[in-house]
Amino acid sequence: MAIYTRVGDKGKTFLFGGKRILKSDLRVEAYGVIDELNSLIGVVLSGKNLLLDIKKELINIQHDLLEIGSNLANPPAEKITYLRKRVKEFEIFIDQITEKLPKLNNFILPGGGEAGAALHLGRAVCRHLERKIVELNKKQSVDANIMVYFNRLSDLLFTMARFANFKERKKEIIWKKRTEESK
């Protein structure tokens, strides 16, 4: 079977139900950003110094992302109720990691080691995705579990980034507000 279909040559694509829509449709944009996030997580997983617990969780997240993407490509889809359980798991993991980190009282600049910087980028892509889903939800109903999932996922990716940098002994750079004199 060929990977190409030629359907997209004129800027259109099919949803799972067979409905043809523009590739610029907000729904396509949302599951396209899910694909970007999933690919970025793949980049993080290709790194050498990733801790096993983080690696396992990121693989689970990749599975979640494909499930959510297919849900968005198949309207009106059933609610993904297991996402509530995943959000609770994220919160437990965030709390466990945070206990091991230095207290954070300021904003920090994204960066650090390879894994930490990529996870910070993942968080930013996740926030972009969250905004797309909120925008889509204003026009077409989106499972509320999906919106909560991405809100918490961005928190998890931020915490993972901090933890990866902590384990690699990469110092966090505190953001300092600039005054006119310091610019």
Nearest to 157 by CA among 77, 78, 83, 90: 90
**Secondary structure element (H or E) that encloses residue 23, with its range:** none
As a whole-number percent, the residues of the chain with pLDDT over 70 amount to 94
Nearest to 132 by CA among 30, 14, 49, 36: 30
Residues 7-26 have a mean pLDDT of: 74
pLDDT value, residue 86: 98
DSSP 12: E
pLDDT value, residue 148: 97
Are the CB atoms for 59 and 52 separated by under 8 Å?
A: no
Question: By three-state DSSP, how is residue 19 classified?
Answer: coil
Q: Which CATH architecture has domain 23-171?
A: Up-down Bundle (1.20)
CB atoms under 10 Å from CB of 128, counted, come to: 15
Summarised one tens digit per residue, pLDDT across range 58-79 is 999 999 999 999 999 887 778 9
Summarised one tens digit per residue, pLDDT across range 118-165 is 999 999 999 999 999 999 999 998 999 999 999 999 999 999 999 999
Nearest to 106 by CA among 174, 18, 180, 177: 174
Residues 83-92 have a mean pLDDT of: 98
pLDDT value, residue 61: 98
The C-alpha atoms of residue 64 and residue 130 are separated, in whole angstroms, by 15
Summarised one tens digit per residue, pLDDT across range 153-172 is 999 999 999 999 999 999 98
**Secondary structure element (H or E) that encloses residue 42, with its range:** helix 26-45
Domain ranges of the chain: 23-171
Strands (E), 40-174: none
pLDDT value, residue 137: 94
